[in-house]
Amino acid sequence: MFFPQFRARRIRGNEVFRRMVRETALSVDDLVYPMFSAFGSGIKKEISSMPGIYQQSIEHIVTDAREAYDLGIPAVLLFGIPETKDAVGSDAYSDTGIIQETVRAIKRAVPGLVVITDVCMCEYTDHGHCGIIKDGDVDNDSTLELLAREALSHVRAGADMVAPSDMMDGRVAAIREVLDENGFDKIPIMSYAVKYASGYYGPFREAAESTPQFGDRRSYQMDPANRLEALREAAADIEEGADIIMVKPGLPYLDILRDLRNEYNLPLAVYNVSGEYSMIKAAAGNGWIDEQRVVLETMLGFKRAGADIIITYHAKDVARWLKKG
């Protein structure tokens, strides 16, 4: 059918028509809000490259979490900045570690809010890598054991879901096994299945104080040039028992998100990472773009590409804007 029989503008002519034929919807139910919990008290320190996002000690993070809950956001994703770091990231799997204490405090104050924890070593190691170092590289198999301990201690503290972000091979299976052995067979794993070695994590590393002290993460995170490899990574994690798979970063990898949506029927998450947030905040702060419009369009783009869950620092703003209608 061609012009003049076909006129695309007929169903675009007024808002009610547009509403009726709209293919994608964004809801507050889609959102996960990431937060940074810092050891100590009385801390609420804005991350300079991420306006509106803070490193905060437990009393403040609880308030922030309650605000997210009151806005209708179903879940938060927690990152920890421990008191001390060491070569083996001991705080990560200590039952009195920063995340364990934070989970307990949030679950006590806001029990209805789903608390997801990031499971990785880089925030807890003095060298800033996501695992144990052997011969100048992150050692896969010895790291698995620590990740499993970390996940277990998060869940023991009350975490509702764990999200391994380290990119070691076999970690989903290792975590699933230890959770099941300890009676936590009901706890889902949201795996950072497809995580690229990305420059977009820059501001996060300031926020989580997790910059690698030597080298980079390219021996474990994925090469941004690779698309087929994403399918292999996802297949492996699904085989190992992942309940939700994630693509990260978001905007430069929408093709990957769509590939996974077409290939798998599991719930799919996307991480709209720190650098993506910072770019929008910088442009909006300069008056160069309309922040609300650009953020909502970005969120819709994730949904259209196939995401069910969007992890985003914009979550509270998005929830407010959706409420206003």
Q: Least distance from C-beta 131 to Zn ion, angstroms?
A: 8
Question: Among candidates 187, 38, 207, which has minimal Cα distance to 116?
Answer: 187
Query: Of these partners, Zn ion, ligand PBG, none, which one is at the site of residue 118 (CB under 5 to 8 Å by kind)?
Result: ligand PBG
Catalytic-residue membership of 281: no
Considering Cα of 135, then 139, then 142, then 145, what sign does the dihedral take?
Answer: positive
Helices vs. strands in the chain: H and E counts, helices first: 11, 12
Q: What is the DSSP string of 83-104?
A: S--BTT-GGGG-TTSHHHHHHH
Site string for ligand PBG, 203-232 (x = CB under 6 A): -xx-----------x---------------
Catalytic-residue membership of 45: no
Q: Least distance from C-beta 247 to ligand PBG, angstroms?
A: 13
d(CA 119, CA 307): 21
Question: Binding to Zn ion (CB under 5 A): which residues in 129-188?
Answer: 130
The stretch near Zn ion (CB under 5 A) out of 118-126, 177-185, 258-266, 270-278 is 118-126
Based on CB atoms, which residue is closest to ligand PBG, 38 or 42?
38
The catalytic residue among 44, 85, 186, 248 is: 248
Distances (CA, A) of 20 to 15, 27, 110, 306: 9, 17, 37, 20
Q: What are phi and psi of 316, to 5 degrees?
A: -65, -40
Question: Among candidates 209, 170, 208, which has minimal Cα distance to 189?
Answer: 170
Q: Least distance from C-beta 209 to ligand PBG, angstroms?
A: 11
Q: What are phi and psi of 311, to 5 degrees?
A: -90, 115
Q: Least distance from C-beta 210 to ligand PBG, angstroms?
A: 6
Tell me the residue ranges of DSSP E strands in 179-278.
190-195, 244-248, 268-272
78: contact with Zn ion by CB under 5 A: no
d(CA 94, CA 199): 30
The stretch near ligand PBG (CB under 6 A) out of 68-76, 174-182, 198-206, 255-263 is 198-206
Site string for ligand PBG, 98-127 (x = CB under 6 A): --------------------x-x-x-----
Q: Strand 161-164 and strand 190-195: pairing?
A: unpaired
Q: Least distance from C-beta 216 to Zn ion, angstroms?
A: 12
For Zn ion, which residue of 120, 174, 208, 256 counts as binding (CB under 5 A)? 120
d(CA 166, CA 13): 49
190, with CB counted inside 10 A (0-12, 13-18, 19+), is: buried
321: contact with ligand PBG by CB under 6 A: no
98: contact with Zn ion by CB under 5 A: no
The catalytic residue among 107, 134, 186, 195 is: 195
273: contact with ligand PBG by CB under 6 A: yes
d(CA 317, CA 207): 19
201: contact with ligand PBG by CB under 6 A: yes
Question: Binding to ligand PBG (CB under 6 A): which residues in 157-196?
Answer: 165
d(CA 168, CA 163): 13
Residues that bind ligand PBG (CB under 6 A): 118, 120, 122, 130, 165, 201, 204-205, 217, 273-274
Residues that bind Zn ion (CB under 5 A): 120, 122, 130
Catalytic residues: 195, 248
